[in-house]
């Protein structure tokens, strides 16, 4: 257990009642609560846990939900089991997620990719190779963390088509920005990887989650007891929020690190030891990502909301919503799962 887990256990030590195994341990109505929650489930140490133990943790959570947990189970044990389940299993389908698709893998994979992109940005071949790997991993992450309630088992081939299109578009964007920005100086040239990553996310996410846009995602009343209808507007809004999150997640590391390393070039200790750039880049990238992964994910609640009037953008959808509401009280907001 990390320090956040221990802090929660200490605060809950004297509290009565059981935890809600299906809800976050912290309030999702505040930014701090969401930040604590994402710090909890994106702990990269959970990647080292075997599949057997992950499934045992999920089974323990299911037993706890119905009150059949083992006698003498301690609160810290069920909290750790919840952590493993929430980090490794999809919230909609309950399936074990691909290792690279879990948010807990964002830190190690992003450190490697960020360092590689900042190192090989000068070579066109290096740019293409880094973007192929980057967008391949992004495609896995985007598909793994989709809203699976829009899935159709019969169109699995769309996943491969989307991956091919997203990877091609991302590499084209990377080379295009490299050609435009590189001529403006050495420092600007080092911002090429961030521009490519930002453009890649704008392309990759909508393509990988296109089924949500074409079919819509479920929207609910506040208590989530009733699905009102499938909304394409909610899907577009949710995917847009995910794009903003991913870009902000990468921004500090990919914009700050080039500035720092560029300034180091004027010092004699760098000129005598040029190898020092690599460990500095890795260290700075790690610090930025440790802070930004939970901070960026916490910007929007995963179960976000919107005003029904937003659906007037698509009049047919708004009319469908009005028919679905019928004689019931018109809600101020409707809720949806935006994915991650």
Q: Are residues 284 and 317 in the same domain?
A: yes
Domain boundary among 63, 89, 115: 89
Rounded to whole angstroms, the Cα distance separating 237 from 253 reads 26
Rounded to whole angstroms, the Cα distance separating 166 from 160 reads 10
Q: Are residues 107 and 81 in the same domain?
A: no
Residue 2 within any structural domain of the chain: no
CA dihedral 199→205→210→214, nearest 10 degrees, is -90
Residue 96 within any structural domain of the chain: no
Residue 98 within any structural domain of the chain: no
Residue 205 within any structural domain of the chain: yes
CA-to-CA dists, residue 130 to 115, 123, 257, 283, angstroms: 10, 10, 17, 20
Residue 94 within any structural domain of the chain: no
Q: Are residues 267 and 192 in the same domain?
A: yes
Rounded to whole angstroms, the Cα distance separating 108 from 245 reads 18
Residue 13 has pLDDT above 60, yes or no: no
Residue 1 within any structural domain of the chain: no
Indicate the average pLDDT of the chain: 80
Least confident of 40-44, 201-205, 239-243: 201-205
Rounded to whole angstroms, the Cα distance separating 338 from 300 reads 9
Q: Are residues 34 and 171 in the same domain?
A: no
**Residue 285, exposed/middle/buried by CB under 10 A (0-12, 13-18, 19+)?**
buried
Terminal Cα distance for the chain, rounded: 24
> What's residue 219's pLDDT?
87
Q: Name, in order, each residue with C-beta under 8 angstroms of 323's C-beta and a sequence gap of 6 or more.
A: none
Domain boundary among 37, 67, 89: 89
Reduced to 3 states (helix: H, G, I; strand: E, B; else coil), residue 5 is: helix
CA 244 to chain centre: 11
Q: Are residues 78 and 138 in the same domain?
A: no
Q: Are residues 247 and 192 in the same domain?
A: yes
Q: Are residues 136 and 272 in the same domain?
A: yes
Q: Contact at 8 Å (CB) between 307 and 332?
A: yes
Q: Are residues 235 and 325 in the same domain?
A: yes
Residue 95 within any structural domain of the chain: no
Task: Using pLDDT thresholds of 50, 70 and 90, give the confidence band for residue 179.
Answer: confident
Q: Are residues 165 and 237 in the same domain?
A: yes
Q: Are residues 220 and 297 in the same domain?
A: yes
| Domain count along the chain | 2
Range of the domain at 25: 15-89
> What's residue 329's pLDDT?
76
Q: Are residues 66 and 152 in the same domain?
A: no
**Residue 102, exposed/middle/buried by CB under 10 A (0-12, 13-18, 19+)?**
buried
At 57-86, the pLDDT tens digits run 999 999 898 888 888 888 889 999 999 999
Q: Are residues 176 and 324 in the same domain?
A: yes
């Amino acid at each position: 257990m990390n320090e956040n887990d221990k802090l929660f256990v200490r605060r809950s030590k004297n509290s009565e009642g059981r935890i809600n195994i299906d809800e976050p341990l912290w309030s999702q109505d505040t930014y701090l609560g969401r930040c604590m929650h994402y710090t909890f489930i994106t702990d990269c140490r959970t990647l080292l846990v075997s599949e057997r133990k992950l499934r045992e943790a999920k089974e323990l959570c299911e037993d706890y939900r119905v009150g059949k947990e083992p006698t003498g189970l301690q609160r810290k044990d069920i909290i750790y089991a919840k952590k493993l389940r929430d980090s490794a299993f999809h919230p909609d389908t309950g399936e074990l997620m691909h290792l690279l698709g879990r948010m807990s893998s964002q830190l190690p994979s992003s450190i490697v990719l960020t360092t590689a992109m900042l190192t090989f940005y000068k070579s066109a071949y290096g740019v293409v190779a880094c973007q192929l790997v980057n967008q391949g991993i992004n495609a896995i992450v985007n598909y793994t963390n989709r809203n699976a309630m829009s899935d159709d088992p019969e169109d699995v081939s769309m996943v491969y088509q989307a991956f091919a299109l997203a990877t091609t578009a991302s590499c084209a964007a990377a080379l295009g920005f490299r050609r435009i920005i590189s001529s403006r100086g050495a420092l600007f040239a080092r911002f090429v990887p961030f521009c490519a990553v930002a453009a890649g996310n704008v392309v990759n996410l909508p393509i990988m989650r296109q089924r949500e846009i074409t079919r819509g995602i479920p929207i609910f009343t506040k208590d989530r007891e009733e699905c009102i209808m499938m909304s394409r507007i909610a899907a577009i809004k949710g995917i847009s929020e995910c794009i903003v999150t991913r870009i902000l997640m990468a921004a500090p590391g990919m914009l700050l690190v080039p500035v720092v390393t560029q300034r180091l070039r004027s010092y004699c200790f760098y000129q005598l030891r040029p190898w020092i750039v690599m460990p500095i880049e890795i260290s700075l990238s790690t610090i930025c990502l440790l802070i930004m992964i939970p901070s960026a994910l916490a910007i929007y609640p995963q179960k976000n909301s919107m005003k029904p009037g937003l659906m007037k953008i698509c009049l047919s959808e708004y009319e469908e919503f009005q028919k679905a509401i019928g004689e019931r009280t018109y809600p101020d907001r409707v809720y949806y799962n935006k994915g991650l």
